[in-house]
C-alpha cells in the first residue's frame, strides 16, 4: 500500500511539475524557449517547483499524464503570434516524446472574460486581456491517458518551444509582454532515501 504518511513507504501523489517563462513588452522572443531549467530556490515557488535544473531530485520519478500551457495576462496579438510561430516539444534524455503546435496542449486554466475599461455616454472601451490557450477548464487538456511518459530520477528533461521569433507588442493597451506557464501533470512517486 502506498502511503503519504508512513515513514519508509513509497509515496504516490498527483501534482504538476511547472515552470514559467516571461518576456517584457517590445522584446524579441528567442527562437527556442526552454522550460524546467529554473529552480524554486533561484526564482521562487510562484515561478517553478523544480528543485534541480532539468532533472528530478533523487528518489523522485514521475509519470507525465499531460503537458499543458497557460498564458496569464497576455494580450491577444502576442498570444496569436506565439501560437502561430512556435511548436512545443517534451524532450526526455535527448529524445522527443511529445511534439505539436502549442494549442494542441491547452492549459485548462486561466482567467476568462473581458473587462470594460471605460464607459462614456456614447462609447464603451473594452480591454481584451483575458485570453487563454484553450478553455479555462481542467477537463479541457490533452491527457496521455493509458500512455503516460515516465521520467526516472536523474534523467534530464525539458520542454522547448521552437519557432520563429516575434517582438511583443509595444503599443498600449497591448504592451503586456508574455507570461507563459508550462505544466507537466504528473503522478509523482517518491522512494524513501
3-state class of 19 per DSSP?
Answer: strand
Within a domain: 50: yes
Within a domain: 165: yes
Nearest residue to 32 via CA among 159, 156, 133: 159
Within a domain: 5: no
Q: Does residue 189 surpass a pLDDT of 70? A: yes
Query: What is the enclosing helix (H) or strand (E) of 35?
Result: strand 32-35
φ, ψ dihedrals at 69, nearest 5°: -125, 135
Q: What is the pLDDT of residues 128-177, one digit of tens each?
A: 555 677 777 777 888 888 999 999 999 999 999 999 999 999 987 778 89
Within a domain: 27: yes
| Per-residue confidence band for 1, with pLDDT thresholds at 50, 70 and 90 | very low
Nearest residue to 29 via CA among 134, 169, 173: 169
Measured CA distances, 117 to 78, 85, 131, 173, 178 (Å): 20, 30, 16, 10, 21
- Cell of residue 30, nine digits: 528567442
Within a domain: 6: no
Residues 85, 74: Cα–Cα separation, whole Å:
16
How many domains, in total, are found in the chain? 1
Q: Return the minimum-mean-pLDDT range out of 28-42, 59-73, 101-115.
A: 101-115
Within a domain: 186: yes
Residues 60, 178: Cα–Cα separation, whole Å:
31
Within a domain: 1: no
Within a domain: 161: yes
Domain that holds residue 164: 12-190
Report the predicted TM-score, pTM, of the whole model to 2 decimal places. 0.86
Residue position matching grid coordinates 479541457: 140
Amino acid at each position: 500500500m502506498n502511503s503519504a504518511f508512513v515513514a519508509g513507504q513509497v509515496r504516490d501523489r498527483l501534482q504538476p511539475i511547472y515552470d514559467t517563462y516571461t518576456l517584457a513588452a517590445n522584446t524579441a522572443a528567442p527562437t527556442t524557449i526552454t522550460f524546467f531549467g529554473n529552480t524554486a530556490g533561484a526564482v521562487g515557488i510562484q515561478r517553478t517547483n523544480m528543485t534541480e535544473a532539468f532533472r528530478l531530485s533523487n528518489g523522485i520519478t514521475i509519470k507525465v499524464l499531460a503537458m499543458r500551457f497557460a498564458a496569464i495576462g497576455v494580450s491577444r496579438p502576442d498570444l496569436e503570434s506565439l501560437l502561430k510561430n512556435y511548436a512545443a516539444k517534451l524532450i526526455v534524455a535527448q529524445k522527443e516524446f511529445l511534439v505539436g503546435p502549442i494549442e494542441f496542449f491547452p492549459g485548462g486554466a486561466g482567467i476568462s472574460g473581458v473587462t470594460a475599461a471605460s464607459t462614456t455616454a456614447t462609447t464603451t472601451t473594452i480591454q481584451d486581456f483575458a485570453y487563454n490557450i484553450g478553455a479555462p477548464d481542467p477537463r479541457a487538456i490533452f491527457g496521455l491517458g493509458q500512455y503516460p511518459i515516465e521520467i526516472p530520477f536523474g534523467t534530464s528533461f525539458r520542454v522547448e518551444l521552437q519557432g520563429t521569433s516575434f517582438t511583443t507588442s509595444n503599443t498600449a493597451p497591448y504592451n503586456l509582454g508574455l507570461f507563459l506557464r508550462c505544466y507537466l501533470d504528473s503522478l509523482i512517486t517518491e522512494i524513501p532515501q
